[in-house]
Amino acid sequence: MSTKQKLLALFVVDIVIVWFSIGTSYLFKYNGTLPQAVQMQFMLYSAVSMIVCGAAMVYYRLYHRMWQYASISEIIAILKAVSIGWVFSYLITALLFREFVPVGIAVRTLETMLLLSGGIRFFYRLVRNGRAKRAEQKAQSSVLIIGAGDCGALIAKELQNPAFGEWKLVGFIDDDPLKQRMQVYGLPVLGDRNMIQSAVKEHGIAEIIIAMPSAPKKAISELINLSLASGIKVKMIPALNDLITGRVSVKAIRDVSVEDLLGRDPVITDLEGIANYVQNKTVLVTGAGGSIGSELCRQIGTFHPDRLLLLGHGENSIYTIEMELRNKFPWLDLETVIADIQDRERMDEVFRTHRPQVVFHAAAHKHVPLMERNPAEAVKNNGFGTKNVADCADKYGSERFVMISSDKAVNPTSIMGATKRIAEMYVQSLGASSRTKFVAVRFGNVLGSRGSVIPYFKQQIARGGPVTVTHPEMVRYFMTIPEAVQLVIQAGSFAKGGEIFVLDMGKPVQILKLAEDLIRLSGFEPYAEIPIEFSGMREGEKLFEELLTDEEAITSTTHERIYIGKPSNINRAELELEYKRLEKVVSEPPDNVRMAITSIVPLYEEQIERPIVKATSTIQIEREAVVS
């Protein structure tokens, strides 16, 4: 049967309901018989009612609704259509017949029409939903919702529709004592978070949906860990406002990510302070095709710079970010520059031509083991490359120079860390005398960057394992890329010249636990389904990273997650001499390069071992001291 035929059949049923309602009301009034005196009135009232009520139902679009999803709005539409049709039918009949229909008959007619018109539609919904549930019952997955508030109720209501028949909602978990043993849409609140594992076992839960979008990130992280401990899939609900306004449906429920496990609240930025030094300026980003550099470009674009220069050595990565930015910011004046920061003359040409007012220096070699095997390249890129860009910024009068540094520059045990420390020292030495405000921003690892441990673990999990961890006690600081970049741009607004800004990375993460969490997030059980093996520490690595040297003091800024580490003064002339020595040995054997680095960075010692206890939070101790 076609859609038009179905709608016509429903219209006919409604007309029959109107006639039936009036007929039974008259028969009930006159004890089962229809006196001759009222037959004409009955016929006129029936004819008028069928025409007027039918027109009212068409006007209120009762035949343009999907009744398998009928709810309160459909009830209101039926009530309006039937009531208004009934009122006008009653008045028109009285006008034509010059006599009112008995009130008892009219009231009983209204009651019967409402009951049958609404009842037949909701009966259709029950039958339709019942068929869909029986058809898909075998394929259903039992689901538990954490959060019996507005968002949880909204999700539960939508999951009961046939469109989500593959999910069988069992109940809720909520910490609110007032909700315990209550029901939401007929489904019980089974208990608080301590009942998660028992509920999973008792009801055979296959998936958990965390429906608490307004809860603090730390609380969400705790719930994720409790849920993952049950060995089942865990999903998240998008922002509640998006669900309520209809911009997002339940189909947008997403898998839990590693970022959710960090449990940190979003970064709050001073948009006005950032706009003051970026807006309407020519901004240069080196390493613009990399993970950090490309995210810098995305976020800087929102502040309407006068021109954005994308500088990188790899043409493919620069092309990719250029196309993305042109699509996202069609009004933005973009300029792509393919260049190597080691080429001093090329850097001079770039600065002479474009005169950037703000420079974000993100270009660097960052892979620790690779740089251990190629120390000269680390020196050329991280040491000489940074010097070239910084010298040009000073020469051509850039207003600010923000260098992206690393926690590996603190007490470095690797070539990469030592060369980043040399770059920090040079930037600081320029900041002492230049009109340009030179600063460095130091932070730890970022999730999802190139060379990050996360993509590597995911590849190993996809192959069925094993997942290789270097050491069971190794810990690292982690941030998301957008989070780190937001703080970097914010730190640039605090620049006065010569500072090293240190980002609050939160608590360090144990790499072994990170691997276990990733395996669980992928739907497997660590050790049982995906083995974990320890491969041993690689060259240049250490068990933990620090964010401050022992000599550096820390002061707070107006941003709660950005601090300033101020080391002792650096002699510019001596540092220049050390750079000249580096130039002479850079083409010599690797051991000579390492010796030259050691003379600049005395703290550089290969494979230094420190107690793991110190990793609990170097910055947290300093932070508490500042607060107190």
Pairing of strands 553-556, 532-534: unpaired
Q: Both tokens of residue 515?
A: 């691997």
Q: Sign (positive/negative) of CA torsion 77, 81, 84, 87?
A: negative
Residue of 17, 16, 35 lying closest to 27 (CA atoms): 35
Q: Name the strands in the sheet holding 500-503, side by side, starting at the edge strand that comes first in the sequence.
A: 334-338, 307-312, 282-286, 358-361, 400-404, 437-442, 500-503, 562-566, 553-556
Count of positions (residues) in the chain? 628
Give 237-306 as a DSSP string.
---HHHHHHTSS-GGG-EE--HHHHH--PPPP--HHHHHHHHTTSEEEEETTTSHHHHHHHHHHHTT--S
Give dist(CA 174, CA 191) in Å, integer: 6
Q: What are phi and psi of 438, to 5 degrees?
A: -95, 125
Residue 97 neighbours by CB under 8 Å, 6+ apart: 40, 41, 44, 45
Q: Both tokens of residue 8?
A: 């016509």
CA angle 179, 185, 190 (to 5 degrees): 40
Q: Both tokens of residue 565?
A: 């580490």
Residue of 313, 309, 331, 306 lying closest to 322 (CA atoms): 309
Give dist(CA 428, CA 430) in Å, integer: 5
Residues 426, 387: contact at Cβ < 8 Å?
yes
CA angle 268, 273, 275 (to 5 degrees): 105
Q: Which residues are catalytic?
A: 408
How many CB atoms sit inside 10 A of residue 565's CB? Answer: 22
Give dist(CA 404, CA 269) in Å, integer: 18
What three-state secondary structure class fits 345?
A: helix
Give 410-436 as a DSSP string.
SS--SHHHHHHHHHHHHHHHHHTT-SS
Residue of 256, 19, 227 lying closest to 143 (CA atoms): 227
Residues 106, 99: contact at Cβ < 8 Å?
no
Give dist(CA 459, CA 455) in Å, integer: 6
Give dist(CA 270, CA 397) in Å, integer: 26
Name residue 566's beta-bridge partners. Answer: 553
Residues 307, 337: contact at Cβ < 8 Å?
no
- DSSP code, position 121: H
User: Which amino acid is residue 127, in one-letter code?
Assistant: V
3-state helix, strand, coil split of the chain in percent (to 5) is 55, 15, 30
